[in-house]
Amino acid sequence: MFLPLHDKNPLRIVAFQFVTVTLIAACIGLFLWQLSLNDAQLTRALYAWGMVPTVMLGDQILPGDIQQLPAQISLLSYQFLHANWSHLLGNMLFLWVFGDNIEDAMGHLRFIVFYLACGIAAALAHAQFEAGSAVPLIGASGSIAGLLGAYLVLHPRVKILVLVLGRIPLRLPAYLLIIAWGLFQVYQATQTDTGPVAWWAHIGGFAAGALMIGPMRNKSVPLFDRGTRH
């Protein structure tokens, strides 16, 4: 729907978004490792590190030649794998634009917990709604959807520069963009043919982020931009 380019929302508590940058570096590093694998090795890696709903729910065991991580660990590891360059770069752009202010709102350590917890919630939502799927879930999209949920609760009035439909630059309030994004996820998730995108993971991650940001934020950070100007 849109690609975020920049938000006018400076850091107020932390000096630098160390965790956000580290997460981006980890995803890029692992994707470069994925590129070094041949097709057979990559398939085994995606099944071993990705979250496979039928395995997570205990209905299936992977073949013995796949050295699988424990299903519970795959709830974390899947968040750092990506399918291709566009999948990676799109996610990293969202993480860069939205992650720093969420990290600023709760501090570095709580942000790590928050980000990974949103990814876990996203994977569990996907597993519940796609219980019969043996396709591994990969990507940071669910975790980043949690950042969008948190951003909506914290900074709905911040103006964000985006490319709409990949070509039209507009500066729009966050609430308009994020609500439109959320409605699009729900619409797509309820279609008969949902395609390869894990729409329910996005919805689960978004809901988790919106719910967790209140209790996890620094109490000096107001909700819904109260008392701030943008």
Domains of the chain (ranges, CATH numbers): 2-219 (1.20.1540.10)
pLDDT over 70 for what percent of the chain? Answer: 96
What does 190-221 look like in DSSP terms, one character per residue?
A: TSS--TTS-HHHHHHHHHHHHHHHHHHS-TTS
pLDDT, tens only, 141-192: 999 999 999 999 999 999 999 998 778 899 999 999 999 999 999 999 998 7
Question: Is this structure's pTM higher than 0.85?
Answer: yes
Q: According to the model, what pLDDT value does residue 229 have?
A: 61
Which region, left, alpha or beta, applies to residue 69 given φ > 0 means left and ψ of -120 to 50 means alpha? beta
- Helix or strand (DSSP H, E) at 172: strand 168-173
Termini Cα distance of the chain: 24
Give the C-alpha distances (Å, rounded to integers) separating 87 from 28, 37, 82, 141, 178. 11, 18, 6, 9, 19
Q: According to the model, what pLDDT value does residue 228 have?
A: 67
Q: Which residue do the tokens 């219980």 mark?
A: 131
In this model, does residue 230 exceed pLDDT 60?
no
Expressed in percent and rounded to 5, the helix, strand and coil fractions of the chain are 60, 10, 30
Q: According to the model, what pLDDT value does residue 67 have?
A: 66
